[in-house]
A and B are shown apart, each in its own frame.
Chain A
């Protein structure tokens, strides 16, 4: 058999049949310390229309910047049960919301800690492959030097950084725009 990766195909319009059972929008369970934060937003298509049939998957480190097993072999405290995985479908208005703890800095390609971030996969009808993006946290001194963030053109970096809401503490807003002027930065993972 060839060692080529099996081609991706779209999740189609009915993925909720097979994927809803693993929905998880509260990632705080098992977290050992860390700042609790709720992140909400919308997914918008090329006409600015909300996408009601999308699904986000999240992967993040804990407040100390460490990932759950197995590849992160750095020593972790025994209490640590933080899992770091989320799966959140959009609702009929194209909105999503999840609650988590702000991750710590994970070592980057240059060995320095990356700015805190959440790995995000987007699935939906119309996407033949998943989209990969990252969510960064605002007001982080590490943002300016973040290796990955700096790979994006300067004028587009803001699409990867969630915005604080003036009247709602511990809540951030982050929209995903598939196309258009403010198209979110997506990565080839």
Chain B
């Protein structure tokens, strides 16, 4: 029998509850029965190992996917992917998607009356390097209205999808921007009960990656679950 890795469970209140009534869409979609705790077997501690060849070399730069340059404020979004023990998570696929500078998604279901940008798709991918670092060049997304409640607007955000080393570490989240006045009113951001955990979804302005004459830099580190070295069950 081989030694079994286990991933730690998050502390209470540091992840959103599935049912969060202020977020109206959760009401008919969140399961109502208690979740059953899944022991970590090889099915949970392994995960897809993607070849870097699946991502085009320029897929990290969302401003260079079309003939012209997209409108809006060019930004560099970078950070590190770490595990819960502070170790870098190298060679992990990172996917992002977002609205354009006007707050409009290139999606048939987005009916917001704001212009599409023919030079902006709003999707990117990259892999973390040996130090767990990733870097995207993109446009600062606009806020946009949604129908969750009266005069509801989503704060500016970029969707992030990361895999990490295992099925158990899969994470999809959203990165927000510092000082956004809409955060206070956003039920999705506020679905995370503990304030200190919630605030870790907000990127920080970063001189080190701000590029002279080119782009402001924002840093967003992502922490995946840490591992336990506990003995086998039973």
Please list the residues of chain A having a beta carbon within 8 angstroms of any beta carbon in chain B.
1-19, 21-22, 45-47, 49, 51, 53, 57, 59, 61, 67-74, 83-85, 106-111, 114, 117, 119, 121, 123-132, 147-148, 151-152, 156, 178-179, 183-189
Contact = CB atoms under 8 A, between A and B. Distances in A.
Contacts of B109: 13-14, 53
Given A70-B49, A71-B5, A117-B43, A14 B105 contact: yes
B159 A5 contact: no
B222 A186 contact: no
Given A9-B191, A111-B232, A131-B31, 20 more contacts: A1-B82, A1-B86, A2-B223, A6-B173, A7-B16, A9-B189, A9-B201, A13-B109, A45-B28, A47-B28, A68-B48, A71-B47, A108-B41, A127-B26, A127-B30, A130-B170, A151-B38, A188-B38, A189-B38, A189-B44
- The main secondary structure of chain B at its interface with chain A is loop
Interface string B38-74: 1101111111110000100000000000000000000
Given A18-B97, A107-B41, A186-B36, A13 B107 contact: yes
Contacts of B201: 6-7, 9
Given A11-B172, A68-B49, A18 B96 contact: yes
A92 to B, nearest CB: 11
B215 interface: no
Contacts of B233: 109-110
Interface SS, A side: loop
A70 B85 CA distance: 20
B38 A4 contact: no
Contact of B224 (A2, A5, A53): A5
B48 A72 contact: no
Contacts of A111: 1, 232
B174 to A, nearest CB: 4
Contacts of B188: 9-10, 128
Given A1-B223, A18-B161, A7 B38 contact: no
Nearest to B56: A21
Which residue, A73, A129, A147, A186, has most C-beta atoms of chain B within 10 A?
A129
Contact of B200 (A6, A12, A108, A189): A6
A189 B45 CA distance: 10
Interface string B105-148: 11101100000000001111100000000000000000000000
B153 to A, nearest CB: 14
A119 B163 CA distance: 14
A124 B123 contact: no
14 contacts: A3-B86, A7-B16, A8-B173, A10-B172, A11-B161, A53-B109, A68-B48, A106-B42, A126-B23, A128-B30, A131-B18, A151-B39, A178-B29, A187-B38
